[in-house]
Every structure is written in structure tokens, then in C-alpha cells.
Structure 1
Amino acid sequence: MDSVSIGKGLVAIAAALAVMTGIFSTIGQGYAAAKAVEAVGKNPEANKEIRAMLILGAGIAETAAIYGMLIAFILIFVF
């Protein structure tokens, strides 16, 4: 049977923490979408500007989640 070292366990914990960026990014995107819907409800004529800012913000948040996933993959498969 293959022995598991403390180093491998720490790498697994670090990978789990890196994946948590995706969880927090999802929470942030949901909050931003809720505020955008609220803003459109209050000011319907600014629909296009609000949508553009929402898409830009969601893209930036998603980039952070993808970087976290990339770091998790590197930690798991390289170390």
C-alpha cells in the first residue's frame, strides 16, 4: 500500500483552498447580479449601461475563479 506523507496532505489542503476561490466568486457574482436587477428595477432607462458593467464584473470574477482552479490543478498534478 502506498504511504501518504504529511506533504501530500498539505498539498491537498492547499488545493482545496485554491478551489474555494470558485465558491466565493460564485457568491460574489450572485450578489452582483441581484444588485444589477435591483438597479434596473429602479432605473430602467440605464439598462444597457448596467448590463455592460455586470458582464464586465462577472468576467473579472470568473477569471479569479479560473486562476484558482488552475492553481489547484497544478498543486494536485505537479506536487
Structure 2
Amino acid sequence: MESSVVRKKTYGNNEDCPAKCAYRCSKSGRPKMCLRACNTCCQRCHCVPPGTSGNTEKCPCWAHMKTHGGRPKCP
């Protein structure tokens, strides 16, 4: 039971996605596209890296998701 509490604190839950993605995409040149991709990644990975870019090592799932063209999916 304790590990689920730790996981929830570390990764948050899907309800946190809109707020975390709003901050993550706040400096994006294409905010609507960024938000759409970010929310998809957050729903799948259950985490959003800190900051407005980079820091993907904090959320390994985020770094490994790719588009059909092989480019990084998550902003």
C-alpha cells in the first residue's frame, strides 16, 4: 500500500495533466499542438518532466515516445 502512495506523489495522476502541461507548454511557439501532445504523453506516462523543456530524464517514458516519423512525440 505504501508504494502506491509513493508512486502517486512521484508521478501524480492524470488529473494533474492539464495544469502540468499548461506550464510545460507556456513558452511554446505552437501552444495548441504542444498541449495536445503533452496531455497525450502525460496520460500514457503518468508524469510530465519539470520545466518548460528538457529534463526528460526525470520521466523516462516521456523520452522514449516517438511519432510515426521517429521524432520525439512529447514536448
Which range, TM-score by smaller chain? 0.3 to 0.5
User: Which structure: greater helix fraction?
Assistant: 1
TM-score, length-normalised on structure 1? 0.33
TM-score, length-normalised on structure 2? 0.34
Higher relative contact order (CA 8 A, sep 6+): 1
Work out which of the two has the higher radius of gyration on C-alpha atoms and give 1 or 2. Answer: 1
